[in-house]
Amino acid sequence: AQSVTQPDIHITVSEGASLELRCNYSYGATPYLFWYVQSPGQGLQLLLKYFSGDTLVQGIKGFEAEFKRSQSSFNLRKPSVHWSDAAEYFCAVAARPGGYQKVTFGIGTKLQVIP
């Protein structure tokens, strides 16, 4: 079964600073990988996804993530954080091939942005 580890529960960065959120996955084959963002009391918004091809994936809001098979990682990055980026970020993995059900989420990383 697949699993996702987000080692950082809470991260604080200054506005304008760079950001990297870590994600490690466990799955026997090449997985589908996602990063979602959740604002308080809201649903999830997809930031970006990796299915295949270029291992550096560009997403919305200036985010990018890099798939590194050798490290089983899919870290999320942003060069300059804005105050509006404060939210909870979830890394997720979906099994493939076969069914698309049972997307597994990491525990989430809460991002705090200070002026």
Partner 1 sequence: GAVVSQHPSWVICKSGTSVKIECRSLDFQATTMFWYRQFPKQSLMLMATSNEGSKATYEQGVEKDKFLINHASLTLSTLTVTSAHPEDSSFYICSAPGGGSGMYEQYFGPGTRLTVT
Which chain residues interact with partner 1 by CB under 8 A?
A: 32, 34, 36, 41-46, 49, 51, 90, 94, 96, 100-108, 110
Q: How far is the CB of 113 from partner 1 (least distance, A)?
A: 18
Please count the CA atoms within 13 angstroms of the CA of 24 that sit on its side-chain side.
Answer: 6
Q: How far is the CB of 80 from partner 1 (least distance, A)?
A: 26
SS percent in the chain: helix, strand, coil, step 5: 10, 50, 40
Q: 28 or 43: whose CB is closer to partner 1?
A: 43
Q: 3 or 80: whose CB is closer to partner 1?
A: 3
CA dist., res. 93 & res. 65, Å (int):
14
Q: How far is the CB of 87 from partner 1 (least distance, A)?
A: 13
Q: Among all chains, which residue has been given the structure tokens 């091809």?
A: 53
CA dist., res. 19 & res. 22, Å (int):
10
Q: 11 or 15: whose CB is closer to partner 1?
A: 11
Q: How far is the CB of 79 from partner 1 (least distance, A)?
A: 25
CA dist., res. 82 & res. 115, Å (int):
9
